[in-house]
């Protein structure tokens, strides 16, 4: 994922190995894969790889590249919620990407809230290749 305004490029790991969250943000495999119709959820630590999200704004655009697609997303919503809030995992009819990190950013120790950033795909730059 490339966040040009923030000058950040990050690699997203799968959640199959718990230590991956130390290496970078992880895609929650219980949600839709990248490039799929529905809700893709990525979680990361506020004090490392997702620290730059403290400066995110509605309207910011970023790129998501996979082996077969390159898509542009636009942030449509930023919310702070209680950790028990599970609506962020809810299915969606639209192709959306949900970023989750602990909040507040300045707090040392266990965070009491979560920042949820919802983004919608605005353009498919490279389409998946069809295999016959």
State pLDDT tens for residues 13-24: 999 998 999 999
Specify the CATH number for the domain of residue 15: 2.40.260.10
Number of domains into which the chain is organized: 1
State pLDDT tens for residues 47-87: 999 999 999 999 999 999 988 889 999 999 999 999 998 88
Above 80 in pLDDT, residue 128? no
Three-state SS for 55? helix
Residue 29 placed within a domain? yes
- Token look-up 């995992």 returns 89
Please, are residues 18 and 10 in contact by the beta-carbon 8 Å criterion? no
- Measured distance CA(103)–CA(33) in Å, rounded: 25
Q: For the whole model, what pTM was predicted?
A: 0.90
Residue 53 placed within a domain? yes
Three-state SS for 100? strand
Q: Which domain holds residue 68?
A: 2-126
Residue 132 placed within a domain? no
Residue 111 placed within a domain? yes
Average pLDDT over the chain, rounded to an integer: 91
- Percentage of the chain exceeding pLDDT 70: 95
């Amino acid at each position: 994922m490339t966040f040009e305004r923030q000058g950040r490029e990050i690699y997203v790991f799968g959640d199959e190995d718990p230590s991956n969250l130390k290496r970078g943000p992880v895609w929650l495999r219980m949600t839709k894969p990248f490039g799929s119709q529905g809700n893709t959820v990525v979680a990361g630590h506020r004090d490392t790889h997702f620290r730059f999200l403290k400066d995110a704004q509605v309207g910011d655009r970023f790129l998501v590249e996979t082996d077969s697609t390159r898509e542009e997303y636009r942030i449509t919503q930023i919310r702070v919620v209680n950790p028990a809030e599970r609506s962020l995992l809810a299915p969606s009819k639209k192709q959306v990407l949900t970023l989750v990190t602990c909040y507040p950013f300045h707090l040392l120790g266990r965070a009491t809230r979560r920042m949820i950033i919802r983004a919608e795909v605005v353009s498919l730059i490279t389409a998946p290749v069809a295999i016959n």
